[in-house]
Amino acid sequence: MRERVERLASLVREHELDSLVVGDLVRPGDSGPADMVNLRWLSGFTGTSGAAVIRPSEAFFVTDFRYAERAAGGLDGFEIEIAERQLVPALAKLLEGRVGFDDAHTSVRVHGRLAELAGDTVELVPSAGLVEELRRRKDEDELERIRQAARVADEAYERAIAGGLAGRSEAEVAAASAAAMRELGAEPAFPAIVAAGPNGALPHADPSERPIGTGELVVFDIGAELDGYCSDCTRTFAAGEPEPKAREVYELVRAAQEAALAATAPGVDASRVDAAARDRIEEAGHGDEFGHGVGHGVGAEIHEAPRLGKTSEEVLIAGDVVTIEPGVYVKGRFGVRIEDLVAVTGDGYENLSGLPKELRVVD
| CATH label of the domain that carries residue 272 | 3.90.230.10
* 148 lies in the same domain as 121: no
- 227 shares its domain with 253: yes
* Amino acid sitting at position 232: D
Edge-to-edge strand order for the sheet containing 50-54?
79-82, 59-63, 50-54, 19-22, 97-101, 122-126
In the chain, the number of structural domains is 2
Tell me how many degrees the CA angle 251-255-261 measures, rounded to the nearest 5. Answer: 145
Whole-angstrom distance, CA of residue 328 vs CA of residue 351:
22
| All residues at 6 or more sequence positions from 141 whose CB lies less than 8 Å from its CB, including other chains | none
- Please list, residue by residue across 242-261, b when 16 or more beta carbons sit within 10 angstroms of its beta carbon and e when fewer do: beeebeebbebbbbbbbbbb
Q: What was the pLDDT predicted at 61?
A: 95
Q: Calculate the CA 324 to chain-centre distance.
A: 13
| pTM given for the model | 0.92
Is residue 127 domain-shared with residue 209, that is, in the same domain?
Answer: no
Query: Is the alpha carbon torsion for 92, 96, 100, 103 positive or negative?
Result: positive
Does 191 share its domain with 294? Answer: yes
SS3 of 174-209:
HHHHHHHHHHCCCEECCCCEEEEHHHHHCCCCCCCC
From the CB of residue 162, how many other CB atoms can be counted at a distance below 10 Å?
Answer: 10
CB burial of 18-36 (b: ≥16 within 10 Å; e: otherwise) equals bbbbbbbbebbeeebeeeb
In a shared domain, residues 182 and 129: no
Q: Pick the last residue of a domain from 87, 105, 135.
A: 135
Q: What is the pLDDT of residue 258?
A: 98
pLDDT at 213: 98
| C-alpha to C-alpha distance for 10 and 30, rounded to whole angstroms | 30
Q: Are 32 and 51 in contact (CB under 8 A)?
A: yes
Structural domain that includes position 50: 2-135
- Written as one letter, the residue type at 159 is R
Strand order in the sheet with 217-222: 193-196, 217-222, 233-238, 360-361
Question: Domain of 10: which CATH number?
Answer: 3.40.350.10
| Neighbour-count burial for 319-336, b at 16+ CB within 10 Å, e otherwise | bbbbbbbbbbbbeebbbb
Q: Which of 344, 141, 189 is nearest to 260 (CA)?
A: 344
Determine the Cα–Cα distance for residues 169 and 192; give it in Å rounded to an integer. 13
Say if residue 128 is in the same domain as residue 159: no
Q: Are residues 153 and 225 in the same domain?
A: yes
Contact 91, 51 (CB under 8 A): yes
pLDDT of residue 84: 85
Mark whether 34 and 119 lie in a shared domain: yes
Q: List per-residue pLDDT tens for the chain, 363 residues long.
A: 889 999 999 999 999 999 999 987 765 444 444 468 999 999 999 888 899 999 999 999 999 988 888 888 778 889 999 998 788 999 999 999 999 999 988 889 999 999 999 999 999 999 999 999 999 999 999 999 999 999 999 999 999 999 899 999 999 999 999 999 999 999 999 999 999 999 999 999 999 999 999 999 999 999 999 999 999 999 999 999 999 999 999 999 999 999 999 999 999 999 999 999 999 999 999 999 999 999 999 999 999 999 999 999 999 999 999 999 999 999 999 999 999 999 999 999 999 999 999 999 998
What CA–CA distance (Å, rounded) separates 330 from 322? 25
Q: Which of 135, 170, 200 is where one domain is finished?
A: 135
In angstroms, the CA 290 to CA 333 distance is 15
Among 83, 102, 135, the domain-final residue is 135
Q: Which residues have CB under 8 Å from 120's CB, separation 6+?
A: none
Predicted confidence at residue 36, as pLDDT, reads 84
Are both 211 and 162 inside the same structural domain?
yes
Say what the pLDDT of residue 76 is: 83
Residues 314 and 182 in one domain: yes
Together in a domain, 198 and 248: yes
